[in-house]
A and B are shown apart, each in its own frame.
Chain A
Amino acid sequence: MSWTEVQTLGVKAASGAGVPPAQALAFGAMLARHIADEGPQGAVAAALSKPEKIVALAHRVETIVEAASVTARPVDAMEEDAGTRAMLVSWLAALPCKAELDIAGPKVRISLSLSEPSARTRPERLHLDPSLSKQLDVLAAKTYVPDSDASRSGGAGAGLMELD
């Protein structure tokens, strides 16, 4: 899959799981970076089944960014769970700004340059595990409104349709 496909699918899946919009957007960016960096896909699957974990992770990143905005010193984060730690790292690595991450056991030392863009590159293709891919598809489908006659009249192209 392309990066954009994975990111978009991640946003929709998080929304379908009940995650609020800002956190779902950030989750989608995290997901693509996580897959690109070969992070554990099982951790993502587990988080999607407990959306409050995604909201909590988003909030954790927010506090790190907030701390980085008032100090030039690195910010430390401790995370014992390896899967959650990997997602935290992917989340920070997916930020638009430059993020230097030093991981030592459960500790992640984070240096953010909020006004400097990230220079991370993106691969051509991303490979999702079939089980995660299916879970993402199922959750994403929950964001789509069923088709109906009334619905079709609210789409572009509805109404006047003379052919020229």
Chain B
Amino acid sequence: MSADIGILETYLRNKRSEGRKLVVPYITGGFKGWTDAIRAAAANGADAIEIGIPFSDPVMDGPTIQHASEMALHNGATPISILHELRSVDVGIPLAVMCYYNTVHHAGHERFANSLSESGVCAAIVPDLPLEESGLWCAAADASGVETVMLCAPTAPDERLPRIIERCRGFVYAVGLLGVTGERDTLASSALTLAKRLKAITDIPVLIGVGVSNAQQAAEACTIADGVVQGASVMRRLIEEDADAVGDYIAEVRKAVDQC
């Protein structure tokens, strides 16, 4: 098993073993300033970056990331252009992509998996691909050395969690609440409940994402989880301000979770 552990998971496990909580910002590929935002996040304490490949029908995303995706598509971003640009982004931490399944399906499993690995992307998150339908993609991803991060919903029954984890590479994405991405006033109690359930049965890093809206909520999530994925709060800063604001925010999150 250990021989199968990929770049992302190895990196995150090593960081965790140093006692570090894991901060993974999400940035929409193709949005104005996105590569600068990746660099700023990496320079300010991110442990990996999740890059969103914008899709016309982003069913998991709330208004902020929907807007960012629309703008990116409007600017002419395509899966190919984003992966091409990523080739020149070397920030010394692992890169993962988040994309909807039609992007993978349209390109073809092997071709898409190869294009990720050729662009230096270690992992893929495909939120609308359920476990039961994931076999062909996962086989292609495994063959290309791409780690497929699986999501666990807060409603997943106990018997399902181990089956998801078994197929999971990189980290396990604990979906914090029943809803779409976006900032909330408080961290949902379902986030901590799910993280606790996952931590009890797996050694793979458990990251809470969806509804982790600021540094304080990130710290709260990290009392149980190994880390957080933050998207809308990052993208709001890139939309309203710039890459520097993203860097400042990640530094703030880093500081908060370091005190856990």
Is the pairing of A and B real? no
Write the residues of chain B forming the contact surface with A, with a CB cutoff of 8 angstroms: none
Write the residues of chain A forming the contact surface with B, with a CB cutoff of 8 angstroms: none
